[in-house]
Amino acid sequence: MKVLIVGSGGREHALAWKVAQSPKASKIFIAPGNPGTASIGTNVPIAADNIAALADFAASEGIDLTIVGPEIPLVAGIVDTFTSRKLACWGPSKAAAELEGSKVAMKEFLRRHNIPTAPFKIFMHAEAAHAYLDEVGAPIVIKCDGLAAGKGVTVAQDLASAHRAVDAMMVDKVFGDAAGRQIIIEDILRGEEISIFAFCDGHNAIVLDAAQDHKQVFDGDQGPNTGGMGAFSPAPGLLSTRDEDEMVRRILLPTMSGLVKEGRPYVGILYMGLMLTDSGPKVIEYNVRFGDPECQALMPRLQADLIDCCLACIEGRLDEFDLSWDPRTCLTVTLTAPGYPGDYPKGSAIKGLDQLGPEVLVFHAGTALREDDVVTNGGRVLNVTALGNDIDAVRHTVYSATEAITFDGMHYRKDIGKRMESRPPC
């Protein structure tokens, strides 16, 4: 089979790496790809949001399966376009992808179908939002409506921070006009956050092993939210049997059935960002694609053929499908450019990649080639990843590898996976 993977980040590198393990894969294309994916397949210079050009390429090249990594083309309707041209494309329709494309629409969907989430209010004007903040106080959560690369959420611990977040989103439009046209202000949820993914075929779903992301830029979950500073899987001792049952019964199944009732059945991978509260799991957000970097922590553990997984979703036969997992722990640490998630420089030469052992996987997230050098080309630059028999072993492997890699101003968290230390064993 010829497979096209859409995207250019660490998630897409991990997906390409996994697809390459399938005996069904005869040729792999990545559009636009990065220097890491170039070692796996053929990079195609088509932007991930250029849907018409991607469809033309898939048709002319005879692509048998397209796997879409990032959210932007999904929200823009790439699956609808490909389907209309009888091209197999793995992911949700534009209507179903609204779960991520609009946080307002997502929260209203949760309310319509009685799916547990934080109490919230929606605001279209900054003045009304400021007045509400003065009424309810802090801590409080402020979210912009549209896509913001994982950075459109402020957990404000005081009123001054909350007011600044409202102005940044609605007045300064730091996430763009569409993202700041409406905002959500919601109660803060207390508990531990977990990422749950499920393969979906419109009517059936299979839950993947759990992963946990670390979103804040600094150790100890301090600083602003990022797209993700690292992740690990599995997350033993975190999701109890009761929580898992409630998640399926009160969140996953009502989500699937609610979308069917609304005429937009969900196909692809559904990400449920949950807070495990004292009163049970509650939805923080949905994503309509693999999380990044959770994908980098899941793909090395997935023992099923990813092509088979995608085809089972598209063809509506997940009820006949089983997943199996490597029992070892996988951990990935994100190396970022200085200043991320704010402004950051590009073009710094990356050294040390040739010094790593075969037990270490490095997924390229924001890199480019300059002559013979791999250089930084994004905020999140590399995902250093490994498998180990336990969290301590794998953390040692990954952090030893990070010490061999250098580029100007390189930053990474030193505590990825340490949340597990306080958990009882399963």
CATH number, domain containing residue 355: 3.90.600.10
Instruction: Identify the pLDDT of residue 289.
Output: 97
The answer to whether residue 258 is domain-embedded is yes
Dump pLDDT digits (tens) for 116-143: 999 999 999 999 999 999 999 999 999 9
| Tokens describing residue 155 | 């957990």
- Concatenating the DSSP letter of every residue in 131-166 gives HHHHHH-SSEEEEESS--TT--EEEESSHHHHHHHH
Q: Contact, 394 vs 332, CB < 8 A?
A: no
Query: Do residue 278 and residue 345 come from a single domain?
Result: no
- Domain assignment present for residue 391? The answer is yes
Domain boundary among 186, 204, 238: 186
Residues 316 and 343 in one domain: no
Does 104 score more than 70 pLDDT?
A: yes
Phi, psi of 29, deg, nearest 5: -115, 145
How many other β-carbons are positioned within 10 Å of the β-carbon of residue 279? 10
- Residue 297 and residue 204 share a domain: yes
308 & 338 share domain? no
* Dist. CA 220–CA 405, nearest whole Å: 23
| pLDDT greater at residue 74 or residue 151 | 74
Q: Is the peptide bond before 234 cis (omega within 30 degrees of 0)?
A: yes
Average pLDDT, the chain: 94
Q: Which of 186, 208, 231 represents a domain boundary (last residue)? A: 186
The CATH number of whichever domain residue 35 belongs to comes to 3.40.50.20
State the total domains in the chain: 4
Span 235-279, pLDDT tens digits? 887 778 888 899 999 999 999 999 999 999 999 999 999 999 999
Within a domain: 98: no
Same-domain check for residues 197 and 308: yes
> Is the pLDDT reported for residue 211 higher than 80?
yes
For tokens 């075969």, the residue is 358
Residue where a domain terminates, one of 286, 303, 320: 320
How many CA atoms lie less than 13 Å away from 267 in the CB half-sphere? 25
Identify the band that residue 420 occupies on the pLDDT scale cut at 50, 70 and 90: low
* pLDDT > 50? residue 424: no
- Please, what is the end-to-end C-alpha distance for the chain in angstroms? 40
For residue 23, give the 3-state DSSP assignment. Answer: coil
**Domain that includes residue 153, residue range:** 121-186
C-beta of residue 65 within 8 angstroms of C-beta of residue 262? no
Measured distance CA(223)–CA(402) in Å, rounded: 22
Assess if residue 104 is contained within a domain: no
What CATH number is attached to the domain comprising 272? 3.30.470.20
Residues 316 and 333 in one domain: no
SS3 202: coil
Whether residue 96 lies inside any domain: the answer is: no
pLDDT tens digit sequence for 3-19: 999 999 999 999 999 99
Question: Is the overall model pTM greater than 0.75, yes or no?
Answer: yes
Residue 99: inside a domain: no
For residue 153, what is the domain's CATH number? 3.30.1490.20
Rg (Cα) of the chain, in Å, rounded? 21
426 pLDDT more than 60? no
- Based on the fold, state whether residues 202 and 312 are members of the same structural domain: yes
Which stretch of 200-214, 291-305, 407-421 has the lowest confidence by average pLDDT? 407-421
Residue 44 domain-assigned (yes or no): yes
Would you say 25 and 49 are in contact if contact means Cβ atoms under 8 Å apart? Answer: no
Residue 281 pLDDT: 94
Asked whether residue 158 falls in the same domain as residue 259, the answer is no
Nearest to 192 by CA among 274, 276, 261: 276
Is 289 found in the same domain as 207?
yes
Which pLDDT score, from 0 to 100, does residue 423 have? 47
At residue 362, the pLDDT reads 98
Quick one: which of 85, 70, 59 has its CA closest to 13? 70
Determine whether 200 is exposed, middle or buried from the number of CB atoms within 10 Å of its CB (0-12, 13-18, 19+).
Answer: buried
With respect to residue 211, please indicate whether it lies within any of the assigned structural domains. Answer: yes
| 336 and 311 assigned to the same domain | no
Same domain, 209 and 278: yes
Q: What is the pLDDT of residue 150?
A: 65
3-state secondary structure (DSSP) of residue 3: strand
Q: Are residues 397 and 416 in the same domain?
A: yes
